[in-house]
Structure 1
């Protein structure tokens, strides 16, 4: 990843208040809610190591209160997992431009 891309990613991540890359085993959950437009979305991501030392990235999305969908990707190199997490978080940071509602951390 180039320095310019890395800087752009970090600037975009500041659009989501108090956002950081999740630590291993930590679940980061974000919500985008606008009752007037009936938008009620949830998005979560978790980065962990499996029994073989590979890095697993799991993320899920859907309507708040529903089962939603999920995806899991396994990486041998942790740097590639971190790059995926950054790309996914960048997409969430751009949500306000795309759907009109920003994602906020759900704590």
Structure 2
């Protein structure tokens, strides 16, 4: 069974405060059958920073991703132009 990969891109912009931030989340399978939640954040246009978390199953990883989404939405982040999208894989 293949686990789908998902990416979510959030942005928070406030020109009056010179704020242009992004927060990106992605769920991806690891080589060892785990699910990896990759978090990237920083100023829009920069490479930013990243953190990787490993989960044993897709349900736990999805719950963690949704919790981070709720947290960021509460802080004013909005879904960016890329939104939530499944990632196509080469066969």
Please give the range of the TM-score, normalised by the shorter of the 2 chains: 0.7 to 0.9
**2 CA distance for matches of 1:77 and 1:90?**
21
Task: Give runs of ≥4 in structure 1 deviating > 4 Å.
Answer: none
Bigger fraction of residues in strand:
2
Answer yes or no: is 1:50 the counterpart of 2:30.
Answer: yes
Structure with the larger RCO, 1 or 2 (CA within 8 Å, 6+ apart): 2
Instruction: Give yes or no for contact 1:24–1:46 (8 Å, CA) kept in 2.
Output: no
- Equivalent residue runs for 1:49-88 within 5 Å: 49-88=29-68
| RMSD between aligned residues | 1.6
**1:54 deviation in Å?**
0.8
Q: Could you say which structure has the higher helix fraction? A: 1
Q: Where in structure 2 are there 5+ consecutive unaligned residues?
A: 83-91
How far apart, in 2, do the equivalents of 1:55 and 1:104 lie? 23
TM-score between both structures, scaled by the size of structure 1: 0.67
| CA distance in structure 1 between the aligned counterparts of 2:32 and 2:72, rounded to whole angstroms | 30
Q: Note if contact 1:61-1:68 (Cα within 8 Å) is conserved in structure 2.
A: yes
For this pair of structures, how many residues does the alignment match? 80
